[in-house]
Structure 1
Amino acid sequence: MNPTELLMFRFLLASGGCIAAGLAVWAAMALCRRALPAVASQRSVWLLGQVTIVAAFLLILLPHSERLRLVPPIEIESVAQAHVALPDNSPATNSAASASATPSVETAGPSWLALGAQAWLLCYLLGLGYAIARLLQARRILTSLAASGGRLRAPHQHDGFINNVPLAPKVIEVDAPISPMLFGLFRPRLLLPVHLRRFETAQQQMMVEHELTHLRRHDLHWISASVLLQTLLWFNPFMRVLRANLSWALELGCDRDVLSGRPATQRKAYAAALVAQLKMQRSPATNALAFGAVSARTLAGRIALIREPGAMSHGRWTRLAAFAALASVLMGSLALQPTLAWRGDSASPPPEPVAQTSPSPISPAASTNAVSCTELADAASGKRLIREGQCDERITPASTFNIAVSLMGYDSGILEDEHAPRMPFRKEYVHWNPAWRTATDPTTWFTHSVLWFAQQVTSQLGAARFQGYVNSFNYGNQDVSGDPGKDNGLALSWVSSSLKISPAEQVTFLRKVVNRQLPLAPKAYDMTSRIMQPETLDNGWKIHGKTGTASPVLPDGRDDPAHQYGWYVGWASKGERTIVFARMALERRQEGFAGGRVKEAFLHDMRRRLDTL
């Protein structure tokens, strides 16, 4: 699956996820409104509800740590299969002889899900264009309406303005059946219908003050942000509902400010003016960035507030309750949204032996990868040669961290050469792997990833020096604190614990190793390269690499019994050319180690591709 296809699948998943988040936001707001009626008048709550839905949409689009997900991944069949073409002069039965041949790729027809993802992306773009066109059309209508009216240049020209008060926005009187209306984000204009002059002077002044209160409260900025978010997620019906409630909250807020401290007679006159205005006007432009529309749907609530001004009083606890509900929705949407996984072609040929010195090959079985990446870069220039998959996803480095431990050990003098020091095995050491139950030197440590040997090196370094090396390497998230409350950073921080690194960061680190750009003694580089025991491919490339295997950690802190991370990182050299690489995959757990299978699959593929990079 190429990055474009993956992005389309993510976009489809994010679209569905944000609708689910919208439903949850609306349900949470309905509960808050029932328990706390004052929520309805909180403009910040409704805008934050829209922001929560957009945040859920964006979070699903981005790669995430598997620790944050509680739902199993959605498995997608791969839409492309690669077949190796045998040379013309080679017999069909001699498949091993074709290992270095250039592959030809046949692309299978796209799956129905891929077609669906493409169709939805096209629909989204068309819908976005239509929504923007409607906004522009609504603005043109308002601009034309303003151009047809006459501008008021002094307060005394209209009874709605108190004498000697300057006209802050541009005021235009129009002969049209509209409500008093404020529009224009950057150049605010106030439209007043001619029929407003038929109202009592006090009513005119309160209605004009209502619109000017919108201006003072910066309500045009609030509604503009809301309309922008609704336009981006035009397909989500809950964005429209939340925008409507935000408009209502803004009207309620202005009503409250205008009527504050006024006697009951003026409040009744204001309510009567709203009812009369509703009878005179036509349907308001719902897509305009404007205020002032009086609608039958909201009129009852506004009049109820006028009659009982204390019913909608708001306080800090009202906002906190609503914000807590929205935060819960956002965290829940992140935890309950599944990731994407895809299955490769299970009929692909098994890998051939890597080199004369390699052990018997491990046949990689078909796996389901919720997270995977292959990244290669030129060691000299840093130019990225290949990036496939989720290469910015940080996970545990597992035994690939032994490259860093080796550099630390030789630089500090704890390690001496390939075979010294030779440390004896003790029963209290970690020894679940039979290969670890014997005396071990640096070479056998690196070959068999002997955990207790690395722990002896880090314990001799001490916490401060160990942290200093990790910081100077700029290694991943640089967190070697270990598991919370267990004080095991020196022993286990790099094994399904606090220290995490992405494949892209692995490549950056290895470039510094190859180019000797870390603050280390030359011996550290020389000896680390020796104990990595290079393997030579049949096309001449020499590989220095390190595998790693570890389990993902479930939300409850237990190791995932069904999956394993597999790593293979290092560099390949031929002549004057050196390429650094990192390959990582999350596999279903099976017999053997994921790191070994990832290595074999990587070298099987790279032996054909290295010469073309």
Structure 2
Amino acid sequence: MFISTLLIFRFLLASLGCMAAGLVVWAMTAACRRYLPQVAVQRSIWLLGQVTVVATFLAFLLPHSERLRLLPAIELPETMLSAPAAPEHAAVPAQAGAIVRDGNAPTNYRAWLNRGAEAWLSLYLLGLAYTMGRVLQAHRTLNGLAATGERLNLTGRHQGLDSAAPPPSLTIIEVDAPISPMLFGWFRPRLLLPRHLRSFDPLQQQMIVEHELTHLRRHDLQWMSAGVVLQTLLWFNPFMRLLRDNLAWAQELGCDRDVLRNRPPSQRKAYAAALVAQLRLQPHPVTHSAKTALAFGVVSARTVAARIGLIREPAAMPRSVWARGAAIAGLASIFAATLAFQPALADRAAPTAHAATPATFSCTDMVDAISGARLVHDGHCDERVTPASTFNIAVSLMGYDSGILHDAHSPSLPFKPGYVDWNPDWRETTDPTSWIRNSTVWYAQQVTASLGARRFQQYLNSFGYGNLDTTGDPGKDNGLAMSWIESSLKISPAEQTAFLRKIVNRQLPLSAHAYDMTARITALGTLPNGWQIHGKTGTASPVLADGSDDARRSYGWFVGWATKDGRTVVFSRLVLQDKQDRAAGPATRDAFLHDLPAQLDAL
């Protein structure tokens, strides 16, 4: 799967979106800490805050649902996201041959936007590597510190362990270093006890060790590890660090609460004195490394005051189910709001060289024909609309399979008065090749009329084509002639690629001749990079609520497949745009083919 310029812009938008979400989450959780301390001391609130910010980041990257999003699309023309479209004179030839485009040079502002988005992606990857390196370095620092210590095998060798019952899997190491007791290691937990801890009162030693063992029983190592992973993923977001620091703060307070539960005031004071004494012994460099490496037991000036406040007034922090539920609902609302109000970059089709205004919406869907892997899925790709002349691919398969069509130039049918003649090119004798090239409606109608309604519907059912509705316009009984032209038959871009994939893999109940001839008459030529293109355009107007055609807008389709060296990619491009002098289908085709070589080269 290639990283298109559009996806790079999505990444930039996701980064900005998660910063905004982080600000809102931090404001809410900070308010909880001030006004609802009973909620703030719960570790789940802070971890869920981080999860909310990361989920927002990912939601901006993933294809989003039009049913959820409320904001209109950002009007970034596609020429801003890729090279500009080809001029009108560079039309695609009908016969095989090289497809060549001469694009215009991008404007300065587009170039700066492209470079800025690409620079941010590069900076993010560098920052991610640096942050991961710091975490690994901190782990190595703690492992090196543990290697200098002495393993305590018998609880009787340390007064702090006399009343404790450490699990057999826990390795206890005594080190001669000015650190606080700390627990670290996700898969192989280890407890580091400084030698100076022996100078504390035996009861103080026991309570401090019990505090570390409580971390182990509460699975705080796993909680903190998850927090560090999320912070590392969004290293650039300062609110992620604030949330993780508060997660550690809540975990320390939680363990203090469990250790001091039902203890008399004299023991609580002794424990507070031990925290203060430990703070004086603990240098900052070791503290920072230990925190980065997921170590518990670190005493800091910022947390000691809150911990001592809890020790003095334990009744001030009661649990509150309703308040906790309200905080979680608030976080869920923030994430839901990001889904509802996130803008889209993919929903504005680009004005081509002939377009004066941006499109109403667009979709680009590309799939690997063999594996089915989705390569691109941007925009309104699940919205069904009229297939227009792209349906001629299906009609071609029906015609050749049934024997109505013979080869690339037979049957050749003359134009007759009364035939549909919206286009002057249709008022002439037409064969299968010119039918596909000119999208001659009456020729397709002759094929479907020869099939008959029953066989026509049977073919559609076997194809699994769109909504399978061939009834046509209400009350007109014209489904056999008009159902695919602004009428009852509808298909989405995603369904178009699924249908094309069946064609390429020859998974439909059709003759080999039908596949071969359809591929022949839909051949458009070869791109400069060697990919052979097959495709079909389609142009149609949306139908308004009163049944009339939309005089202002037009659908532009281009669907098909590209083949090179045994690899095939099927694609579907749909644009709904303001009507221009040129038909929307050919304009959509030219703009899409202009960018296709670079995209295919990146596969």
Q: 1:338: Cα distance to partner?
A: 2.2
1:113-512 superposed matches below 5 A: 113-162=113-162, 165=165, 168=168, 169-283=170-284, 284-285=287-288, 286-340=291-345, 344=350, 346=352, 348=353, 367-368=358-359, 371-373=362-364, 375=366, 382=370, 390=377, 394-400=381-387, 447=441, 501-503=492-494, 505-512=495-502
Deviations 1:438-492 (CA, angstroms, capped at 9, x unpaired): xxxxxxxx959xxxxxxxxxxx9xxxx99xx98x86667x899xxxxxxxxxxx9
Asked whether the equivalents of residues 81 and 105 of structure 1 are also in contact (C-alpha less than 8 Å), the reply is yes
Task: Specify the SS of the correspondent of 2:151.
Answer: strand
What is the match of residue 53 of structure 2?
Answer: 53
Return the alpha-carbon distance in structure 2 between the equivalents of residues 3 and 369 of structure 1. 24
Task: Specify the SS of the correspondent of 1:310.
Answer: helix
**C-alpha distance 401-216 of structure 1, shift in aligned 2 (>3 A):** farther
Return the alpha-carbon distance in structure 2 between the equivalents of residues 329 and 164 of structure 1. 43
AA at the equivalent of 1:39: V
Q: TM-score, normalised by structure 1?
A: 0.68
**C-alpha distance 173-479 of structure 1, shift in aligned 2 (>3 A):** farther
Task: Specify the SS of the correspondent of 1:325.
Answer: helix
Return the alpha-carbon distance in structure 2 between the equivalents of residues 53 and 160 of structure 1. 41
Q: 1:309: Cα distance to partner?
A: 2.1
Task: Specify the SS of the correspondent of 2:160.
Answer: coil
Q: 1:13: Cα distance to partner?
A: 1.4
Q: 1:180: Cα distance to partner?
A: 0.7
Return the alpha-carbon distance in structure 2 between the equivalents of residues 608 and 150 of structure 1. 65
Q: 1:291: Cα distance to partner?
A: 0.4
Q: 1:105: Cα distance to partner?
A: 5.8
Task: Specify the SS of the correspondent of 1:64.
Answer: coil
Q: 1:296: Cα distance to partner?
A: 1.4
Deviations 1:177-218 (CA, angstroms, capped at 9, x unpaired): 111101111111111111211221111111100001111111
**C-alpha distance 6-392 of structure 1, shift in aligned 2 (>3 A):** closer
Task: Specify the SS of the correspondent of 2:131.
Answer: helix
Q: 1:302: Cα distance to partner?
A: 1.2
Asked whether the equivalents of residues 390 and 558 of structure 2 are also in contact (C-alpha less than 8 Å), the reply is no
Asked whether the equivalents of residues 552 and 565 of structure 1 are also in contact (C-alpha less than 8 Å), the reply is no
Task: Specify the SS of the correspondent of 2:387.
Answer: helix
Worse overlay, 2-11 or 95-104:
95-104
Deviations 1:35-69 (CA, angstroms, capped at 9, x unpaired): 42212111111111111111111111123234414
What is the match of residue 484 of structure 1?
Answer: none
AA at the equivalent of 2:203: A
Return the alpha-carbon distance in structure 2 between the equivalents of residues 597 and 49 of structure 1. 46
Q: 1:587: Cα distance to partner?
A: 3.9
**C-alpha distance 106-280 of structure 1, shift in aligned 2 (>3 A):** same
Worse overlay, 60-69 or 142-151:
60-69
Return the alpha-carbon distance in structure 2 between the equivalents of residues 552 and 275 of structure 1. 76
**Greater relative contact order (CA < 8 Å, ≥ 6 in sequence):** 2
Q: 1:103: Cα distance to partner?
A: 3.5
Deviations 1:54-98 (CA, angstroms, capped at 9, x unpaired): 1111111123234414143151525524667999xxxxxxx9999
Work out the number of aligned pairs and report it: 516
**C-alpha distance 11-230 of structure 1, shift in aligned 2 (>3 A):** same
* % identical equivalent positions: 47
Asked whether the equivalents of residues 537 and 607 of structure 1 are also in contact (C-alpha less than 8 Å), the reply is no
Q: 1:290: Cα distance to partner?
A: 0.2
What is the match of residue 428 of structure 1?
Answer: none
Q: TM-score, normalised by structure 2?
A: 0.69
Deviations 1:86-133 (CA, angstroms, capped at 9, x unpaired): 99xxxxxxx999997634567657711111112212221221222122
Consecutive unaligned residues in structure 1, runs of 5 or more = 88-94, 349-362, 412-416, 419-445, 449-459, 481-491, 554-559
Asked whether the equivalents of residues 75 and 358 of structure 2 are also in contact (C-alpha less than 8 Å), the reply is no
Asked whether the equivalents of residues 278 and 299 of structure 2 are also in contact (C-alpha less than 8 Å), the reply is yes
Asked whether the equivalents of residues 363 and 377 of structure 2 are also in contact (C-alpha less than 8 Å), the reply is yes
Asked whether the equivalents of residues 74 and 345 of structure 2 are also in contact (C-alpha less than 8 Å), the reply is yes
What is the match of residue 597 of structure 1?
Answer: 584
Deviations 1:299-342 (CA, angstroms, capped at 9, x unpaired): 12112222222322224323321111111111222333322257
